[in-house]
Amino acid sequence: MKRIVVVNCSPRVGMNTGTLVREAGKGAEAEGAEVRIFDLYRLDNVHGCMSCFACKLAPNEGKCVYKDGLAEVLAAIREADGAIIGTPNYLGDASAGFRALYERLIFQSLTYKNEPRSYNERRIPILFIMTSNASEAAYLPLGYRKMLGDYEKTLEAFVGPVKVMISGDTLQVKDYSRFDWTMFDPAAKQKRHETVFPEEKKRAYSLGARMVRECRQGQGLFGNGQRPNDGELIGE
Ligand SMILES: Cc1cc2nc3c(=O)[nH]c(=O)nc-3n(C[C@H](O)[C@H](O)[C@H](O)COP(=O)(O)O)c2cc1C
């Protein structure tokens, strides 16, 4: 049975990011995977890399040893056949929770040697979902596309092949009338939430299912482990 780890790096469990990663998890489950879900902000004591360098010393090379709430997530990813990770866009970047996971996930694999660059010999596919106020079309002009591309390249180098999914123009709050926010059109946000977001849930579901199918079929996972071209990075 394939094991898939789902990590919601939004503090809000039932909102946009949490919903989409869970849908992807349901897709994985429908293909027979065992799915484990972590809501990062519900874990105790999550820290980024503590710079102890224990992961560069025997017998722990390639393995973060710091014991906090994230240790269980890192251990689960280590055993998993795939990971579904979602984060909201915070100030043009991923959330601080995601950054903590990312620092620990990547840095443990980095050898600081010329060759090999990574301790990680077991590559697993990653579905990386970002949700944001900005629409997907705005990712290029706002520089978000580069930011996502940088995460993608590093995850690809140290963890495995990555598929990016963006859900933009999200419904940020259920009741906009409580706030004096002049930037948004609440009716348009609500309409998008009712018409487009359900389609995005379906897309997340099918990407989760695809991850497991391709794992099972022994295919290269999300495109043979090759770096996807830019066209594939956004949207597809
Ligand atoms: C601290 C904070 C910073 C944010 N910064 C941005 C931003 O720079 N660009 C953007 O498009 N959306 C930004 N947003 C909006 C969220 O990315 C968006 O509402 C997201 O879908 C929230 O995910 P959630 O519903 O899973 O919590 C920000 C929200 C918060 C709370």
Rounded Cα distance, 175 and 154, in Å: 38
Domain count, the chain: 1
Task: Decide if pLDDT at 193 tops 90.
Answer: yes
Strand stretches in 29-142, DSSP E: 34-39, 82-88, 126-131
Residue appearing with tokens 């360098």 = 53
95 Cβ below 6 A of ligand 1: no
The chain-wide mean pLDDT, for the chain, equals 93
- Classified as helix, coil or strand, 45 is coil
Task: Decide if pLDDT at 185 tops 90.
Answer: yes
Do the beta carbons of residue 90 and residue 100 sit within 8 Å? no
Give a yes or no: residue 162 inside a domain: yes
Q: Per-residue confidence at 236, pLDDT binned at 50, 70, 90?
A: very low
Task: Decide if pLDDT at 233 tops 80.
Answer: no
Task: Decide if pLDDT at 180 tops 50.
Answer: yes
Task: Decide if pLDDT at 229 tops 70.
Answer: no
Do the beta carbons of residue 139 and residue 166 sit within 8 Å? yes
Q: Tell me how far the alpha carbon of residue 1 lies from the centroid of ligand 1, in angstroms.
A: 35
10 Cβ below 6 A of ligand 1: yes
133 Cβ below 6 A of ligand 1: yes
For residue 172, give the ligand 1 atom closest to its CA: 19
pLDDT at 218: 79
Give a yes or no: residue 96 inside a domain: yes
pLDDT at 223: 54
Give a yes or no: residue 234 inside a domain: no
For ligand 1, atom 30: residue with the closest CA: 90
Domain CATH for 46: 3.40.50.360
